[in-house]
Amino acid sequence: MYDSIIALGLTVATICAGLMAGVYFAFSSFIMRSLDQLGATQAVETMNVINKVILRSWFMVPFFGSTLLYLVLAAIAVLDPDLAGRWLLFAAGMIYIAGMFVCTAGFNVPLNKRLAQVNGGNTAKANGWAYYFRRWTRWNHIRSISSLVVLTLSIHYLANHT
């Protein structure tokens, strides 16, 4: 029963990590560059709308749900010395929490807030967008790669330890 609960929790977390990896990959590979091609004024306005809408979307369920699941699974891995593959499970949890959640909260969200404060003419928006685009995309690459690594580790764990 205990192993089944871990397997179910990790399965749900893995699906969510895959969703997060896909969203972040889309932003890194073509959404941000598409916004950049619109020009600074439109890019700032559009990204600000995206940042408002995402907070009230279904995105938040897998975002917070997966973070909580990986936190619990990492804690179980530390507390249960008899759990097979526990350090793999712990690594997946810690990489996800640091690379996806902490990165988002510590870097992408503050950049979003800074972008929301950009107002004024085209020069202000051009400068604001240039600053935002480079930094936000760099941190988003980390979120994308971290989610993909955790997805891979989680699938490996599920295939070999459940």
pTM: 0.93
| Six token digits for residue 135 | 């930094």
Structure tokens at 28: 């890194």
The whole-angstrom separation of Cα 124 and Cα 104 is: 25
Element (H, E) at 132: helix 122-161
Radius of gyration of the chain (CA): 18
The one-digit pLDDT tens for each residue of the chain (162 residues) are: 678 899 999 999 999 999 999 999 999 999 999 999 999 999 999 999 999 999 999 999 999 999 999 999 999 999 999 999 999 999 999 999 999 999 999 999 999 999 999 987 888 888 999 999 999 999 999 999 999 999 999 999 999 998
Structural domain boundaries, residue 149: 2-161
Side chain identity, residue 152 = T
How many domains in the chain?
A: 1
